[in-house]
Amino acid sequence: MSLPIQNISLLDSLSSLRQTGRSTNSRNDRGFSDRLDEAVAGGTTPVATLQKAREAAQVLSMQMLQASISIAGDSPITAPSRAQSSVNSLLQAYLAQQPARGEESSTTPQPQLQPQPQPQPVELAPPPPVSAPKQIHETRNTAWLDPIISKASLKYGVEASLIKAVIKAESNFNPQAVSHAGAQGLMQLMPATARSLGVRDSFDPEQNVMAGTRFLRDMLNRYDNNLESALAAYNWGPGNVDKSPGRLPRETRNYQTRVKEFYSSYTG
């Protein structure tokens, strides 16, 4: 059973005891006991809630009071006085409520370590599937040109898909195209070549395609239907190809590759 104690000033009681002197020992015992009983009976705060520093000070004060009471009489004390009994009871009750050494540290809750969040794996988007080569999609509406191409193909015996591939590579179906060298129209005829073929207006789609297809037919005949040689002559000129057939410029080689790719796409 715990004894409630509130604000017991033991030092004040000890001071009062010393002031009365030895001659009033029994009377002092009764006054001190009464005061101590009142403090014990009227306390409301449990010892366990006092701070450690205050607890240590009160224990020391009780021990000093007990020692003072023992030496306060003129003769040796053979039986404990009422004050001593009260002090001893108070001291024993107080010490009984103190935690054993090591008990407090063992019961002190330890801070719990919060688990660290684990990094989530990053999901990588799958690579796009490898698709078949894309077919060439025209950026222009070329349906209007199909009748002219068909007419030139029938007249000169050149496949319509090859004529269309040359137009795509030369002007991208722009009848008003002009190159840095001065070539004009859909099939990029040089002015001198256009005049020799009877073209009056190189920007007229039908005149240009008919003359360009005729010139392409002549190149195929010249090189025994060898498509690469005919395309090289169309781009670089037959005279240059005849002089240096194995030394085509890079621009002409790229031109051959582009026309053949377009030709394959339109044929398929």
Active site residues: 170
Residue 50, amino acid = L
Can you read off the two tokens belonging to residue 248? 């085509």
Residue 80, amino acid = P
Packing angle of the helix pair 205-222, 160-171 (nearest 10 deg): 110
First to last CA, the chain: 105
Q: Which of 208, 232, 211 is nearest to 220 (CA)?
A: 232
* Cβ–Cβ under 8 Å, residues 91 and 62: yes
* Cβ–Cβ under 8 Å, residues 223 and 229: yes
* Cβ–Cβ under 8 Å, residues 173 and 167: yes
